[in-house]
């Protein structure tokens, strides 16, 4: 499951799990139960940090992935951070300044719903800063992430790949379904007109920042059930590789009888 080259780039491809939707839902639930136990161990072990970066076009499923994948985990050790339009204070600092305060502490899983990558995506597409500025940020991001890894953070960067037809269908669902009206924002329709520019921006961003220490995972996301299965599998495998364990009771307290 390493990086984009190991994932099919067709957004509707589910060939990595050929057993179909119903079997995938069962497997996803099993993995969620496993993730809940591993996340508790991560918190108790208190040696590792995990940063999950979710990027993708509007309607690609960032919110849905967070809701479904982390269903049942203890919120004490999981935190979601979002990155909207920078504030005046944030603009007065370098583009990574606002990211530092939202990074995971020891024992935590933090999910970035969008991330520092907006500063090589939206700022490029909308020409908010010149090329001479945003093009240098790829190297800065790579070094920033290298430092995090060296300090004990495991970084999982996931790009949720959908096609334009699926985005159109999901936006239309938000208009038709009264329970989804709150999700609809006309700016999403305006951003959709820039699809080709975003695809070029994403292609370069993934290529320039797909490093050994923080690779990208490109997840076909036209099918929600498949997207959730792949992300949950990735998290479980990553945590299992950490050799997590519960701390042992101090020797002096072993065999203690509480009265």
Distance of CA 175 to the CA centre of its chain: 26
- Do the domain assignments include residue 35? no
Could you report the per-residue pLDDT of 151-172, keeping only the tens digit for each? Answer: 999 999 999 999 999 999 999 9
From the number of C-beta atoms within 10 Å of its C-beta (0-12, 13-18, 19+), residue 65 rates as buried
Give the chain's radius of gyration (CA, Å): 20
Measure Cα distances from 68 to 200, 211, 214 in Å: 29, 28, 24
Q: How far apart are CA 113 and CA 82, in angstroms?
A: 5
CATH number of domain containing 162? 3.40.50.300
What does the pLDDT read at residue 9? 54
- Do the domain assignments include residue 137? yes
User: What is the token pair recorded at 102?
Assistant: 């939202």
What is the chain's length? Answer: 259
- Do the domain assignments include residue 17? no
Output the pTM of the full model.
Answer: 0.91
Could you report the per-residue pLDDT of 27-42, keeping only the tens digit for each? Answer: 999 999 999 999 999 9
- Do the domain assignments include residue 37? no
* % of the chain beyond a pLDDT of 90: 80
- Do the domain assignments include residue 187? yes
- Do the domain assignments include residue 118? yes
Could you report the per-residue pLDDT of 191-240, keeping only the tens digit for each? Answer: 999 999 999 999 999 999 999 999 999 999 999 999 999 999 999 999 99
Counted domains in the chain: 1
What does the pLDDT read at residue 233? 96
- Do the domain assignments include residue 123? yes
Q: Edge to edge, what strands does the sheet with 109-113 contain?
A: 78-82, 109-113, 49-56, 153-161, 216-220
What does the pLDDT read at residue 235? 97
Instruction: Answer for the pair 125, 194: CB distance below 8 angstroms, yes or no.
Output: yes
- Do the domain assignments include residue 255? no
Domain ranges, residue 105: 4-12+48-242
Rounded average pLDDT over 95-111 = 96
């Amino acid at each position: 499951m390493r990086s984009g080259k190991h994932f099919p780039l067709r957004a509707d491809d589910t060939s990595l799990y050929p057993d179909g939707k119903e079997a995938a839902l069962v497997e996803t639930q099993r993995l969620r139960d496993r993730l809940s136990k591993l996340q508790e161990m991560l918190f108790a072990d208190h040696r590792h940090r995990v940063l999950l970066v979710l990027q993708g076009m509007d309607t690609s499923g960032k919110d849905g992935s967070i809701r479904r994948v982390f269903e049942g985990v203890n919120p004490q050790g999981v935190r979601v951070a979002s990155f909207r339009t920078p504030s005046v204070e944030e603009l007065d600092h370098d583009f990574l300044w606002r990211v530092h305060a939202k990074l995971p502490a020891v024992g935590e899983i933090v999910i970035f719903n969008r991330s520092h990558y907006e500063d090589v995506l939206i700022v490029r597409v909308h020409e908010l800063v010149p090329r001479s500025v945003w093009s240098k940020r790829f190297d800065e991001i790579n070094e920033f992430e290298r430092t995090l890894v060296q300090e004990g953070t495991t970084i999982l960067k996931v790009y949720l790949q959908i096609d334009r037809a699926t985005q159109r269908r999901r936006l239309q669902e938000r208009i038709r379904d009264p329970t989804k009206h709150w999700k609809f924002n006309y700016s999403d329709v305006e951003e959709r007109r820039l699809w080709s520019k975003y695809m070029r921006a994403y292609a370069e961003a993934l290529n320039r920042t797909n490093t050994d220490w923080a690779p990208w995972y490109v997840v076909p996301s036209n099918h929600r059930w498949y997207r959730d299965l792949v992300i949950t599998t990735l998290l479980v495998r990553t945590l299992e590789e950490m050799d997590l364990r519960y701390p042992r009771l101090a020797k002096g307290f072993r065999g203690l009888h509480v009265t």
